[in-house]
Amino acid sequence: DNLRYPIDQNIAKDLLSQPDRELAWSRVMRGGIKSDHMCMDMFEKMNATGVGEGDEIIITAFDNDSKTFDHVASTLCKLSFVATIATHPAICSMSHVPDIGVMNEEARWIVESGDSTSRSTPWLDSGLTGAGQVVSLIDTGIDVDNCYFWDSTNLPPHSWNDKSNRKITQYVSFADGNDHGSGHGTHVAGTIAGHISTDGGKTSSTSPGMADGIAKDAKISFYDFSKEGRTVDLPSNLHVAFDKGRNAGSKVLNASWGGYDGGSYGYWDRVFDDYIFRKDDFLIVVSAGNSGAGQKPTSIHTPASAKNVISVGATQSSGKDVTRGMKGEDYVAWFSSHGPTADGRTKPDVVAPGESILSAGARSSQRGECDPTDGTVLSVGDVTNAYGLDYRVGTSMAAPVVTGTVALIRQYFEEGWYPSGIKGSGKKITPSGTLVKAIIMNGAQLVAGIQDDRVTVYSSEYDNTQNFGRVSLINSLALDGKNKLETKVYDRESITNDSLKNYNIRINTSGCDATELRVTLAWNDPASTQGCTNCVNNDLDLYIVRDGKTYYPNGLNKKDSKNNAERIRIPATNGQSFKVRVKAYNLATNSQKYSLVVSGCF
């Protein structure tokens, strides 16, 4: 179990109280290797596996059969082993690998327009539905004969790879190939890209389903990591699982799972950051965790505490999804995990609807389970096994809302909607992951607060409850006839140490109604050492100068040296000029690529 038992309190107090730590650890080691502690049994059952593309290994200390001996004895064995390995001259660092667990109709309009009066879906109405995109997931499984995923070929629940399929083009059965015991993966996949079929999976229905996904015309590459939806079985080299989706054409992966590790930068954070840093066209969206009750600080889960991911907290939903006195979409859900990380980075990155979300439901004993056929409108509490739908709660439900949004943004650029908001009017662009991330953060909108146990607490921009705010596509990119917003993007820009890049912006409000200038900088930072206390390796700084005054990012009155995403918002009027500047400081590598997004009127 990768040394997960808590240290016996008497041993911990003894270690911490000793003035001579070396002597204290020596005593632990001598005690730990005694035969009556069964340390030899532990050593014999250990296994070591190389991971990633660096010099790292995972050492698994116990299997299920060896967890039964005395707790204090097992603690001494583990501590003696840790002390021995950590003092070896070839070992740079050693850390705990935490256990991992799993944590739309309303959600669609909330992230597309945020307009509770019209409840409009301008991106869907304009034809941006995720077509041509592949999204990848690592989760508990999919009930493949649910009407939101069903293919007429009646694919069995084991591995396949067929790009001609209507919905699921790849299914990797690393664990068991179904979603019998959970329904978590089915629900998550449905929120991203579920699309109802009413003809046995031959075609997608032209009429909307009650739980069509955010990117309903995207296809799915799925990696099943759970046995019967109960236990998580990740590959020792997680990059192999990432590659499965990427090789199937996916540029975004959803990870609605994680584990609590005190907010520290740990093993899983490093694995995620390293992969994203190496694959600049790839983006991973991660659920923030469900440990935020009581506004608990530093409750962010791993790998949501990684630098290069988008970590997503949960807001309440709206309409029929609101129950029990909930205030609605402008309030963060009571369970949503909070930052900061242990090294002081602000988390989560953004928030999206995640409390009481309707999506596809797993019904393993049924075939073709679907929406009610009698016109019944479902609300929370109405869903039964008679339908192929489920309501669920958690940041696991919020992350796929953002993943679906990523697919829509990628379609926007790849089909030439940029910059005018008219399909095919511009050059087709393959955006980097950091550009998509910066666009999402740049357009995110402030929510009012958090509702915890029916008590409302105010939340502010860039805090550790909502950070950049709730995702809003209508405030992110131009869409002809739907908004009057202009956006400039600068992708895969490169900067060297101590150099400065300038971007001159002049405001022209002709045909545009934006009242502020928004600028967001994002970059993929190299993976850091586990347990780092200052985890950003390549520090870039964003600031804006106007009329001799300097504006700094993220609500600060100085440069931000902690985070690798920075945003500035400034009121802007016609004719004003701004100098946007990006400065590189103390880079650990020769150069650093970044993406910059500017929105307003130009």
Active-site annotation, residues: 139, 184, 396
Buried b (16+ CB within 10 A) or exposed e, 257-289: bbbbbebbbbbbbbbbbbbbbebbbbbbbbbbb
Distance CA 412, CA 443 (A): 15
Helices 395-414/184-193 angle, 10° precision: 30
Token pair, residue 60, equals 């698994």
Tokens of 221: 């590459």
Share in percent of the chain as helix, strand, coil (round to 5): 20, 25, 55
Number of other CB atoms surrounding residue 430 within 10 Å: 11
The number of beta carbons lying within 10 Å of the beta carbon of residue 602 is 18
Cβ burial of 597 (10 Å; 0-12, 13-18, 19+) is: buried
CA distances from 510 to 225, 368, 570, 594 (A): 53, 53, 19, 30
Residues 6+ apart with CB under 8 A from 334: 292, 293, 450, 451, 452, 453
Say if residues 230 and 181 touch (Cβ distance below 8 Å): yes
Orientation angle between helical segments 433-443 and 395-414, nearest 10 degrees: 110
